[in-house]
Copies of this chain bind each other. A is one copy, B any other.
């Protein structure tokens, strides 16, 4: 059970976008370059984010991606859902309905206990992810940054926007 690395890629990218002035964005190429990632693959992931409504795309020269909502209104779960899809990790395939001890009158309308337990666990996981917003993470990153890093960052960003 391994989560796609695309989640980390796009999460970092969104944190970067959250640090930009409202309504301003960056092209996929720049987002990939910022963390030295494969540009073509990053572009694919950003398309998924756009389809999911997490970011907005602006086509044409000078375009790129920008956040579709305020950083406070975008959670880590939104990103996971966009990249991984909303399907649960545990998928009950109803093996209880197979085998020599299944009765014809068996009642399988209610989910089995195993299924229900995993559903509860994944729900707790989602709730935790939904409670973390881009604003939270961006603020924490900014707090920990040294003055040098801050300067380097603003310089790089202005270079990309020019």
Contact = CB atoms under 8 A, between A and B. Distances in A.
- Size category of the binding interface on chain A: 35 or more
Interface string A85-102: 001011111011011110
Contact of A114 (B101, B125, B137): B137
A120 B113 CA distance: 25
Interface stretch (A6-14, A21-29, A47-55, A56-64): A6-14
A41 interface: no
Max chain B Cβ within 10 angstroms of own Cβ: one of A15, A89, A156: A89
A30 to B, nearest CB: 10
Question: Number of copies of this chain in the oligomer?
Answer: 2
Contacts of A128: 117, 120-121, 124
Contact of A148 (B8, B105, B117, B118): B105
Interface of A: 1-5, 7-9, 11-12, 15, 33-37, 76, 84, 87, 89-93, 95-96, 98-101, 103, 105-107, 110, 112-114, 117-118, 120-122, 124-129, 132, 136-137, 140-141, 144, 146, 148-149, 152-153, 156
Given A101-B149, A101-B156, A121-B125, 16 more contacts: A1-B1, A3-B91, A5-B91, A8-B90, A8-B95, A9-B95, A33-B100, A35-B98, A35-B99, A36-B98, A37-B98, A103-B148, A105-B148, A112-B141, A121-B126, A124-B125
